[in-house]
């Protein structure tokens, strides 16, 4: 599988412990274990713990978004603010969809 699509999720939240992001990461990995054609590639967190990014690669970003969105919105201590769905290979003129989250 080529995983040409991507989802990048931006979150906020005062993270004084890595436990909430590790718990969310484990939930996402368990969810994606049963989905062919998708991978959770991890996260980045600002040094001050104020914000971060989650990375997903897949064959169909719109379909994967529908599956992961409930888990992301239910995360404790982390507020997902925006998601960018890239519908094609990096370095191309692939369509990008920006989703603002409540």
Q: Taking the chain, what is the end-to-end CA distance rounded to the nearest angstrom?
A: 33
21, 42, 3, 75: CA torsion to nearest 10: 0
What's the pTM? 0.90
Query: Among residues 4, 6, 2, which one has the least CA distance to residue 68?
Result: 6
What pLDDT score was predicted for residue 102? Answer: 83
Beta strand pairing call for 79-87 and 51-58 = unpaired
The tens-digit pLDDT sequence of the chain (102 residues) is 578 999 999 998 766 778 888 899 999 999 998 888 899 999 999 888 888 999 999 999 999 999 999 999 998 778 889 999 999 988 899 999 999 998
d(CA 77, CA 58): 26
In order of start, what are the domains of the chain with their CATH numbers? 5-100 (3.30.70.600)
d(CA 34, CA 87): 22
């Amino acid at each position: 599988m080529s995983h040409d699509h991507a989802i990048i999720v931006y979150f906020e939240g005062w993270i004084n412990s890595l436990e909430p992001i590790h718990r969310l990461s484990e939930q996402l990995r368990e969810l994606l274990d049963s989905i062919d054609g998708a991978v959770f590639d991890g996260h980045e967190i600002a040094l001050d713990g104020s914000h971060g990014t989650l990375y997903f690669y897949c064959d169909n970003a719109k379909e994967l978004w529908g599956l992961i969105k409930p888990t992301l919105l239910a995360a404790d201590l982390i507020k997902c603010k925006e998601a960018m769905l890239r519908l094609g290979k990096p370095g191309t003129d692939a369509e990008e969809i920006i989703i603002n989250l409540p």
